[in-house]
Structure 1
Amino acid sequence: MRRLFRLLTIYAVFARYRLDELLPDHAASGIVKFFIRLHPAAWTASTQVHPWGRLRLALEQLGPVFIKFGQLLSTRHDLLPEEAIGDLANLQDNVPPFGEQAAFDIIEAELKGTTEALFGHLERTPLASASVAQVHAGSLKDGREIVVKVIRPGIETLVQRDLALLLTGARWLQKIVPETKRFHPVQVVTDYRHILLGELDLGQEAANGAQFRRNFADSPVLYVPEVHWNLSTNKVLTMERVYGVPVSDTQSMLAAGVSLEHLSELGVEIFFTQVFRDNFFHADMHPGNVMVSLKDPQNPQYLSLDCAIVGSLSKQERFLLARQLMALLDKDYEQIAILMVEAGWVPQSTRIHEFQNALRTVLEPVLERPLNEIEFGPILIRLFQTARRFEMQALPQFMLLEKTLIHVEGLGRQLYPELDIWEIGRPLLEQWLRDQIGPGAIMQTIKRNGPALIEQIPHIPKLAWDALQEMRKLSENQQKLLQQVEQGHLKQLRRDRIITLLGLIGLGAGLSWGFNPHWSLSWSEIPLGAWVISALGASLILTRLRSNPDD
């Protein structure tokens, strides 16, 4: 019943914002358009705002699941046009806080104690609030300042309900409009479900934060707050409180004497380090999740917050990515096309020459500029838009990476408009590639696998003996099989010879009977029996020749 009510709510919102105008001209979508326009809310709806802008407003009204889904879609340049990306990127996730007592009840139930016994102090008024959780400031018994993040009550039920509706809608879309299969709508929703459910699990966020903190332990460029595990569960996360200014507050940083050029370069260095050195990158690096410490303005330090969404790539994927980026910098369009086909992003049947020319057409005007004037975000957008014409199917982790890179570059250029991301990134890429194929990489592999290899040394004689036994058995089986094949061949040869002999006898008998030189018969006077015997003999010979034409 609740699901039906939710469906009616979504239907009313779609009608109110006339989202039927976004549907393609398709026979199946015509029915949906008709029902949307049938709703009374559509009769008085204003269409002055652009349809994609109306979609943003509708998603904000439908709540956290749809807001988060729209934010995820805003990174999919391979699926949506640029005008849609711009509107969805502006989705706001600001909601009023839930009851103060409700938050304290959750904290006490999860941590099994009163807030007075657990903390030195905990503010009842939230420090910040969002659709999934809210944050309260406080301190520990020893006076250390903390923040406590609490999952919004009942949000899991709402999220699961809306995710089920989205998944059902994606399946219907794939069945009703088969052309959408190449965009994998079900897979998009499934990937999104994994991301959103990860945000609801504060234990996962805590583990991610701990991994980042370990990766950048004692780093002068990035600081990750400490997690207090004894005061954290899947619904409550207690972390060290850090102070800084939002990375977008350039005025405060300039007033403190921070070099924005140096700060922007550090951001790029952190990104490449996370992706290629650690294979663990922050995939939600928008300005709200990044702050800058002003304790030492001459040596500024980034503060990383909210580690719920992270990404990682396999070694093969990182190697592929590095080669693609290097090919892009070298304007090697053929190599880019080949790598995208090898990665499975575009079909194997794609004509490399045609794809290469399409890439050159859209990328050459951009890449001809000086490197410090090139914005990589628009290049990626153009690249994905071009590849979409060739039925591109990029992996979700690459989409997260693309989103992160665009955020990093956007933040960097906001700090320092003349930032040359590749002056910093290219040496790091080249060094990483050298490390993967050099002697150091070989020694590292031996070092990593050495204990396992040493452990197997005592078993090598037995393994070798077992292998020889298997080879002997295989050889014996092969000999038996060959003998059976040879015997079968001989039997078939004998049968063929008998059939040929019978055919020749029949043909000869028929000819002798029908064309006896002592008879003076015309064609019509040849006995029927002679015809039949000759035909049977000829048929046997032809059958033999068809079965083995080489004889």
Structure 2
Amino acid sequence: MTRLQLLRRLVSIQRVLVKYGLDELIGSSHLLRPARLLFRLSPSGWRGPQLDQPRGVRIRLAIEELGPIFVKFGQSLSTRQDLLPPDIGRELTRLQDEVPPFPAEQALAEVERSFGQPASQLFASFAHDPLAAASIAQVHAARLHSGEDVVVKILRPNVHELVRRDLDVMYALARLAERWWPESRRLRPVGIVAEYEKTILNELDLLREAANATQLRRNWLGSPLIYVPQVYFDYCRKSVMVMERIHGIPIDDMDALKAAGVNIPRLAANGVEIFFTQVFRDNFFHADMHPGNIFVDATNPEYPRYAAVDFGIVGSLSERDSRYLAGNFMAFFERDYYRVAKLHVDSGWVPAGTRVDELEAAVRTVCEPIFSKPLKDISFGHVLLQLLSIAQRFDMVVQTQLILLQKTLVQVEGLGRVLYPDLDIWQTGKPVLKAWMRDQTGPRATLRRLRRDWPDLRYALEKLPLVARKLVDAELEREVTGPASQAESEIEPAVALSRYLVGVGGTLVIAAVLWLGLETEPRWVAWAGGAAGLLSLWFGRPKI
């Protein structure tokens, strides 16, 4: 973007801000101090009738008028409730990503450009009226020549250029904020825009979304809880994605759900189970679970099944983070604040030098009031938000994946409690957490890790003789006064010892695998194998 184009876009943004009276907010917060004069010179005719609305409402309306990319950014920012004033945070969660559809002719032209052939050769039929239209893409119903009913998701024309333009503007504003508004540095405006840039650019790659959908489908194939539609990869490109068309009741259509006789309490509880299973069992979760992306298959109303769409945003926690997060939840609800603090330090979420007792006191101060409510009224999302907020006060660098998780957890809880206000999130999620933690600490988990890490462990063991030789060589270089024969005599025992250690390590690993892996065979087989190995190692130990 040239400077002239940037200036024009900034002027158009200025006009919207003035219209909603946000120039006064900017002046009072010292943000964009050099631009104050420009706002004062703005024509009075720019001011709109919405000036008597609350601050949060005016900010939301302005973002919606600035266009779809700013709406997406506002939705992303709404997940950072730890950084936002409550009134602004609440309004940002109401942002709607709804825009007029683009003509079907442009959609068909994009299909032809992507595949190098007319849409009629790909589809037996193609509905010109879109099923849905959003800021990034729109969706059309179609049918393949082989007879399958599908939906075709197509990126909006010139969306890459529009995204790049507004990202440049956001970066310019963020840099100005960090320069002229010292209070903003704690919020890291440039870092927030950078996080958003990654998210929005990922959404512009429909092949990536197709891969996400396929992974989720594989994780839940055959499940009675949720259905993920099939992707037709032969019909997918970076700007076009084709997947199975599904039918269901929108999750927020309570009248239709009741009319279909759906077991609402079971549906709400299943949603919580799905979320915790995705996070802890699969380490791969749908991170955009707003009502527009979730449907209900009421074929069997007593046992309803979810159906999900739109897989542009997914999250994934490392095995380590999943373990610490589960431990944090369990410790929190057991009111073991020392363990919560210790887990924060052990996980690396706060600096290693953090005093555990100080962190424990901070956790207790914030979390004890939460327990004044009944357990069923405690929000998991609020708990996670509080834990992240405390950690930030102790210099935690918040990871994007944890923020995605917190946002998704809030969405899941919101959906669950709209469906069934008496839903007890903790009692529903606790069995999943406990089962997962047992699976992570039991013999099977140890065996899985041994099998997974065995190639690396074997490689490290094989390198021990070389490491020992290098250590001896380094030591001999410092003791150059000794004769060559002495060097040789010192090297050989070290090499022999290292080979012996390889054998010890290998024997112990094999014994462990036998012990953990034999579930139907007698245990004496493992004991005998281990004892024989250790005896051979004893008699074969090097004479040093």
Residues 332-341 or 118-127, more deviating = 332-341
Structure 1 residues 97 and 2, CA, compared in 2 at 3 Å: closer, same or farther?
same
Q: Secondary structure, in 3 states, of the residue corresponding to 1:339?
A: helix
Distance in 2, Cα, partners of 1:412 & 1:466:
59
Structure 1 residues 361 and 449, CA, compared in 2 at 3 Å: closer, same or farther?
closer
Check the 8 A contact 2:269/2:428 in 1, yes or no.
Answer: yes
Structure 1 residues 142 and 41, CA, compared in 2 at 3 Å: closer, same or farther?
farther
1:415 aligns with 2:419: yes
Aligned to 1:162: 166
1:280 aligns with 2:284: yes
Alignment equivalent of 1:150, drawn from 150, 154, 162: 154
Q: Secondary structure, in 3 states, of the residue corresponding to 1:126?
A: coil
Aligned-pair distance for 1:310? 0.3
Pairing of 1:40-79 with structure 2 (within 5 A) = 40-41=43-44, 44-45=47-48, 46-79=50-83
Aligned-pair distance for 1:345? 4.8
Aligned to 2:242: 238
Check the 8 A contact 1:77/1:385 in 2, yes or no.
Answer: no
1:252 aligns with 2:279: no
Pairing of 1:197-208 with structure 2 (within 5 A) = 197-208=201-212
Q: CA offsets, 1:396-455, max 9 Å, x none? A: 11111001111111111111111111112112212222222221111001222335656x
1:333 aligns with 2:334: no
Gaps of 5+ in 1: 483-551
Q: CA offsets, 1:441-494, max 9 Å, x none? A: 11001222335656x59x93xx45433421221121232499xxxxxxxxxxxx
Q: Secondary structure, in 3 states, of the residue corresponding to 2:141?
A: strand
Check the 8 A contact 1:70/1:88 in 2, yes or no.
Answer: yes
Structure 1 residues 110 and 341, CA, compared in 2 at 3 Å: closer, same or farther?
same
Aligned to 1:171: 175
Aligned to 2:479: 479
Distance in 2, Cα, partners of 1:61 & 1:358:
41
Aligned to 1:505: none
Structure 1 residues 358 and 119, CA, compared in 2 at 3 Å: closer, same or farther?
same
Pairing of 1:357-396 with structure 2 (within 5 A) = 357-384=361-388, 393-396=397-400
Distance in 2, Cα, partners of 1:303 & 1:85:
29
1:10 aligns with 2:13: yes
Letter in 1 for 2:47: T
Check the 8 A contact 1:182/1:393 in 2, yes or no.
Answer: no
Structure 1 residues 255 and 392, CA, compared in 2 at 3 Å: closer, same or farther?
same
Q: CA offsets, 1:278-325, max 9 Å, x none? A: 100000001101101112222211101000000011111111211111
Q: Secondary structure, in 3 states, of the residue corresponding to 1:47?
A: helix
Letter in 2 for 1:409: E
Alignment equivalent of 1:211, drawn from 208, 212, 215: 215
Aligned-pair distance for 1:18? 2.1
Check the 8 A contact 1:203/1:237 in 2, yes or no.
Answer: yes
Aligned to 1:314: 318
Aligned to 1:20: 23
Larger Rg: 1
Aligned-pair distance for 1:352? 4.9
Aligned-pair distance for 1:361? 3.6
Structure 1 residues 332 and 299, CA, compared in 2 at 3 Å: closer, same or farther?
same
Q: Secondary structure, in 3 states, of the residue corresponding to 1:120?
A: strand
Distance in 1, Cα, partners of 2:66 & 2:13:
7
Structure 1 residues 341 and 183, CA, compared in 2 at 3 Å: closer, same or farther?
farther
Distance in 2, Cα, partners of 1:349 & 1:452:
31
Alignment equivalent of 1:84, drawn from 77, 82, 88: 88
Q: Secondary structure, in 3 states, of the residue corresponding to 1:148?
A: strand
Residues 176-185 or 131-140, more deviating = 176-185
Aligned to 1:439: 443
Aligned to 2:486: none
TM-score, reference length from structure 1: 0.81
Letter in 2 for 1:174: E
Check the 8 A contact 1:36/1:42 in 2, yes or no.
Answer: no
Check the 8 A contact 2:30/2:180 in 1, yes or no.
Answer: no
Alignment equivalent of 2:41, drawn from 29, 33, 38: 38
Check the 8 A contact 2:124/2:144 in 1, yes or no.
Answer: yes
Letter in 1 for 2:137: A
Structure 1 residues 314 and 244, CA, compared in 2 at 3 Å: closer, same or farther?
same
Distance in 2, Cα, partners of 1:155 & 1:12:
23
Q: How many residues align?
A: 479
Q: Secondary structure, in 3 states, of the residue corresponding to 1:98?
A: coil
Distance in 1, Cα, partners of 2:331 & 2:10:
48
Aligned to 2:130: 126
Distance in 2, Cα, partners of 1:430 & 1:481:
63
TM-score, reference length from structure 2: 0.82
Check the 8 A contact 2:68/2:99 in 1, yes or no.
Answer: no
Check the 8 A contact 2:380/2:426 in 1, yes or no.
Answer: no
Check the 8 A contact 1:285/1:404 in 2, yes or no.
Answer: yes
Aligned to 1:509: none
Pairing of 1:379-528 with structure 2 (within 5 A) = 379-384=383-388, 393-450=397-454, 456=459, 460=462, 463-480=463-480
Aligned-pair distance for 1:129? 0.8
Aligned-pair distance for 1:385? 5.2
Aligned-pair distance for 1:230? 1.1
Check the 8 A contact 2:33/2:180 in 1, yes or no.
Answer: no
Distance in 1, Cα, partners of 2:362 & 2:150:
53
Check the 8 A contact 1:324/1:336 in 2, yes or no.
Answer: yes
Distance in 2, Cα, partners of 1:304 & 1:185:
33
Structure 1 residues 453 and 397, CA, compared in 2 at 3 Å: closer, same or farther?
closer
Alignment equivalent of 1:224, drawn from 207, 228, 250: 228
Structure 1 residues 464 and 50, CA, compared in 2 at 3 Å: closer, same or farther?
closer
Q: CA offsets, 1:377-398, max 9 Å, x none? A: 3444455555565565421111
Structure 1 residues 250 and 76, CA, compared in 2 at 3 Å: closer, same or farther?
same
Structure 1 residues 42 and 166, CA, compared in 2 at 3 Å: closer, same or farther?
farther
